[in-house]
Copies of this chain bind each other. A is one copy, B any other.
Amino acid sequence: MTYCVGLRIDSGLVFMSDTRTNAGIDSISTFRKMHVWEDPGERVIVLLTAGNLATTQAVVSLLDERSKSIADRVPTLLETPSMYQTARLVGNTVKEVISSHADAGQKADSYFNASFILGGQIKGTPPRLFQIYPEGNFIECSEDTPFFQIGETKYGKPIIIRAYDRAMSFAETAKLLIVSFDSTLKSNLSVGLPLDLMFYEKDTMRVGFKKRIGIDDPYYRTVSDGWSNALKNAFKSLPDFPET
């Protein structure tokens, strides 16, 4: 499984993804699910991936190769005129990869499906955030729903719903995401450390803060342990049920 979140705040976009993949419970590996393309000062594109690893790797490789070899199909990920066109390009690539495996060759027991969160900014346009479906279509985040989750989304959702505020700083948002991921990690073994965290600051067109957070990360440990205690204290602060 997987857990990825892309979140919009006033000051930019924040992304977090886990790195665990599994083919059955007895075959667990670590793979990066956060992919970044940057043309400094011009554009930053971030893609988070969930689902079939062969599919997501093929999509990322195709997008990547096409951005390097201009002889191949244009426009590439570094040349699309808008984030909307970027989402279309990714969506079409997803559709192409899935149909090429699903329609021919040996049938697999499971589907080749994959989902994506795409975010970024192209100079002269605002930062945008999309969720892309296996069918290649996509939706954009709005004022009402300023974040997307893919993969194992449920355990970590209640805290985001309750604590998110668009005026949050990056440091607060990173804390929120770590709490949300920690709840998910504690509930589903197929989501695992390390985590990739990235902050894109609006209008910079450059990769901002980027970090891999492992089991030894002292801040992660502080939040993980602290959140358990803070939750217990929050719980104690409420009045007990009146048995009348």
Contacts and interface: CB of A to CB of B under 8 A. Distances in A.
A177 to B, nearest CB: 9
A179 interface: yes
Interface in A170-206: 170-176, 178-179, 183, 186-187, 199
A16 to B, nearest CB: 11
Copies assembled: 2
Interface stretch (A36-44, A82-90, A136-144, A221-229): A221-229
A50 to B, nearest CB: 16
Given A155-B158, A161-B186, A235 B242 contact: no
A154 interface: yes
A235 B168 CA distance: 13
A158 B171 contact: no
Contacts of A239: 175, 219, 222-223, 226
Question: At the interface, is chain A mostly helix, strand, loop or mixed?
Answer: helix
A108 interface: no
B230 A174 contact: no
Given A158-B186, A158-B187, A163-B232, A169 B240 contact: yes
Given A157-B187, A230-B234, A234-B234, 16 more contacts: A154-B154, A158-B187, A161-B187, A163-B231, A163-B235, A172-B240, A173-B241, A209-B243, A222-B238, A223-B239, A226-B238, A227-B238, A230-B235, A230-B237, A230-B238, A231-B234
